[in-house]
A and B are shown apart, each in its own frame.
Chain A
């Protein structure tokens, strides 16, 4: 096998073949001795030229001048270049020199194949075709571009989680800080600290889960406990009558899964709040509901508090309206009186969504002083909650709330990332 079958000229090799080797050009220039500085300006790749001219004994350097020693006879290297380029045989030694000077390179088999394709119609564009320009000599097969591409499954976020992330971001934009709280709570934080009487119907076993194990947690510091107890029994120093029953600390230390996100608000108030301050929580909650299209095994609540020196009822309505516009995209709102055991006065907001029509979107109230004062907060605290699941169902295009937790991979794969 001849080297020309496997090797071809590099760009540099091709250039030297056309314009001469650098050492050849140098020798031609030296009719008479010439300063190095002058020669270097007129010869391209001067260092290569000098090094090979010296090596071949053609020139010598004396006091900064180049002096021609002898004129080269046959330029073997140039001949070898020419032979290889024409596909003729060259010696192994010549090949070695050409390779060491990067004037030739090994030709890949793929390229040879590519060359064999000249004039044909081919399916794939290859790097060789692109580099060698051989692509000009082939025809790339046209496709039926109207056929959609093959289905692939990209990684995606869980769609409901993405929705919650957007709500979270929106609330941060509105200046709310995220609160935290444990999944398993004491009844104290879930109910008592929220001024829900111990015999209140919402504390019934049918309304909240109870635990088999572990059963009892511990109560917070004595001061808060005694103040909460007094608020329940006689209103403490709040000007309230209280519920008028004997408060039981054992019941308050029962453990239960968090039944509403308001438990986080109670903890936040007791740990200390900034004034003014705005807080939110999006938390998984647990209630023993019979599971149907509107009640899942678990649900998320989005709620929070606003503390200001002089929060008023009309500011509360203003905040609700802002939520409805910013988060639900409401175009109109209506208010209704509402009831929560821990707020007074209380209100509910219905929002007119451009596509969903009227929806109950938000509830709010000013925390009762029987709640805030025993936790050490003197300022009015506005508590709010948003019905985000209804909005999520609309955005995800689902009718059954259980689908929020869908374990159907096809459904998840089909979900849009633009929700």
Chain B
């Protein structure tokens, strides 16, 4: 969810109406799906909840919604686009590099501090959140008058050109920028493996930018003195770059800019951008009322839609709608219905608790696990909770076991948590190792999940709900844990047998397989001193582990 900053007074002047701060906070900002998180002087920090509505991520976008809802301007905002003679030629070499761009010119701007900071912020939020951190959308804005048309979007070898990147003073090659410029280092992964890098260059050979990395310091620096802008969005899919451009251009037009089109010449055809023509959709009135539960008249529904910046017209059982080109989030009538409900006001709706007669229940294994926990608590054991994620060192090496196949994560955050545990006892020994200076004896248990590989399953894995219990103390031995196990299984009404077995984590001759109905369901034993050494434990530990799913009959 993007968090944006906006100046309160700037926002009000865009709306054209005074809205007291508390009204904006309690009511107004909700119309833009926002929540004011922080107020510092005139600056508002606003969370915009919708990650699919980049048009709301600026003071201009929020103002459009407020204008509608407070009746300043209702219906669809209209944006005229004048033709210009600017041409951008797209090189076919870019096909496997960064093949697409859409561009616009916005003239006659008065770039105040607020305008500039909003523009930079919007550019950033759109390319990061909507543009998948510049992968899908990279945006550049340039001083129109420093450019010699036509512009070419092409590619160069990593050391094939030199230019001064933004905020730098010396010329650098693209390769040097990726190594030395902070933005170059941050986004170098987006160009990884390419033999040529994308570049916008004008007829005078002046570099505009190297998307998606950096603008040039000469053309790509916008200041308060700039009046006319050239804007481009580059990427791989019009589905992303067109709305991104439209969102930016609309915000600048709201600041008084005049939009002009650019002729983008592709190897296989010409595209005039930006395309600000309204989009069409329609909703069914009965369906909208059924979903919202609001029972609105068609007229009232149209009013609410006009406030949400649609042009709305009843046609039979439907409402025909026009909406602005910067919105790319409307896929289904549901998206429009939400706008109706937001216009109506979430807090003006009477919540009705649904009256559905249903019978609740917990899953069988949870119920059984609860009985097991009750018995363990009765036996004086302290319940503990551990992460399911761990590492191979804990699962195998420290437990004196040969490595087994386990579920492994590839994009790990920490080497401590990189595989899924396939048994629980290591978690308990880890717990004991962290509590060596606490009072003994330490009887502990955990009921939790382990994950094992299973080729026959849809997910190639299987979860095991397990119980592990361990007790550590000066005179603790096999007999202690054996009687706890006996008490537990008796309390659960289960008959069992213990069969002598070998397990590298336990002392030979002091470990047994637990069987119920002749089937192995777990292991009990006194932990091997080598394992105790591996965990840095200094007192004996006796433990058992049971597979609860196997004993829940």
Q: Say yes or no for B7: interface residue by CB 8 A criterion.
A: no
Q: How far is the CB of A357 from chain B (nearest CB, A)?
A: 15
* Cβ contacts under 8 Å, B489 to chain A: none
Q: Are A168 and B377 in contact (CB under 8 A)?
A: no
B136's contact among A199, A315, A319, A333, by CB below 8 Å, is which?
Answer: A199
Given contacts A297-B389, A405-B385, are A314 and B350 in contact (CB under 8 A)?
A: yes
Chain A contact residue count (CB 8 A cutoff): 105
Q: Are B331 and A241 in contact (CB under 8 A)?
A: yes
Q: How far is the CB of B515 from chain A (nearest CB, A)?
A: 26
Q: How far is the CB of B547 from chain A (nearest CB, A)?
A: 16
Q: How far is the CB of B252 from chain A (nearest CB, A)?
A: 25
The 8 A CB mask of B360-382 against A (1 = contact, 0 = none) is: 11110010001001001111111
Expressed in whole angstroms, the Cα–Cα distance for A335 and B346 within the complex equals: 6
Q: Say yes or no for A64: interface residue by CB 8 A criterion.
A: no
Expressed in whole angstroms, the Cα–Cα distance for A195 and B386 within the complex equals: 33
Q: Are B357 and A276 in contact (CB under 8 A)?
A: yes
Expressed in whole angstroms, the Cα–Cα distance for A179 and B351 within the complex equals: 26
Q: Say yes or no for A33: interface residue by CB 8 A criterion.
A: no
B386's contact among A157, A407, A412, by CB below 8 Å, is which?
Answer: A407
Q: Are B439 and A153 in contact (CB under 8 A)?
A: yes
Kindly specify which of A34-42, A90-98, A209-217 makes contact with the partner chain. Answer: A209-217
Expressed in whole angstroms, the Cα–Cα distance for A346 and B292 within the complex equals: 11
Expressed in whole angstroms, the Cα–Cα distance for A175 and B386 within the complex equals: 30
Q: Are A336 and B346 in contact (CB under 8 A)?
A: yes
The 8 A CB mask of B130-155 against A (1 = contact, 0 = none) is: 00100010000000000000000000
Q: Are A158 and B383 in contact (CB under 8 A)?
A: yes
Residue of A nearest to B356 (CB): A276
Q: Are B346 and A317 in contact (CB under 8 A)?
A: yes
* Cβ contacts under 8 Å, A276 to chain B: 356-358
Expressed in whole angstroms, the Cα–Cα distance for A101 and B382 within the complex equals: 54
Expressed in whole angstroms, the Cα–Cα distance for A286 and B239 within the complex equals: 30
A235's contact among B331, B362, B406, B434, by CB below 8 Å, is which?
Answer: B331
Residue of B nearest to A168 (CB): B362
Q: Say yes or no for B94: interface residue by CB 8 A criterion.
A: no
Q: Say yes or no for A123: interface residue by CB 8 A criterion.
A: no
A288's contact among B362, B411, B449, by CB below 8 Å, is which?
Answer: B411
Q: Are A155 and B379 in contact (CB under 8 A)?
A: yes
Q: Are B341 and A313 in contact (CB under 8 A)?
A: yes
Q: Say yes or no for B342: interface residue by CB 8 A criterion.
A: yes
Given contacts A175-B358, A211-B410, A314-B352, are A404 and B385 in contact (CB under 8 A)?
A: yes
Further contacts, 7 of them, CB under 8 A, given A185-B459, A312-B291, A339-B49: A182-B461, A186-B458, A308-B354, A310-B290, A312-B290, A341-B51, A368-B334
Using a CB–CB cutoff of 8 Å, the interface residues on chain B facing chain A are 1, 30, 33, 35, 49-53, 129, 132, 136, 237, 239, 290-294, 331-335, 337-338, 341-342, 346-347, 349-354, 356-363, 366, 370, 373, 376-389, 405-414, 417, 420, 430-431, 434-435, 438-439, 442-444, 446-447, 449, 451, 453, 457-463
9 residue pairs from A and B, CB less than 8 Å apart = A155-B377, A184-B461, A278-B360, A290-B413, A313-B341, A317-B349, A322-B353, A345-B291, A407-B430
Using a CB–CB cutoff of 8 Å, the interface residues on chain A facing chain B are 153-158, 160-161, 165, 168-169, 171-180, 182-186, 199, 201, 204-205, 209-214, 216-218, 220, 235, 238-245, 255, 257, 274, 276-278, 284, 286, 288-291, 297-298, 306, 308, 310-315, 317-322, 333-339, 341, 344-348, 366, 368-370, 380, 382, 404-410, 412-413
Q: Which 9 A-B pairs have the closest CB atoms?
A: A312-B293, A345-B338, A158-B383, A172-B360, A317-B351, A318-B351, A276-B356, A240-B332, A212-B410
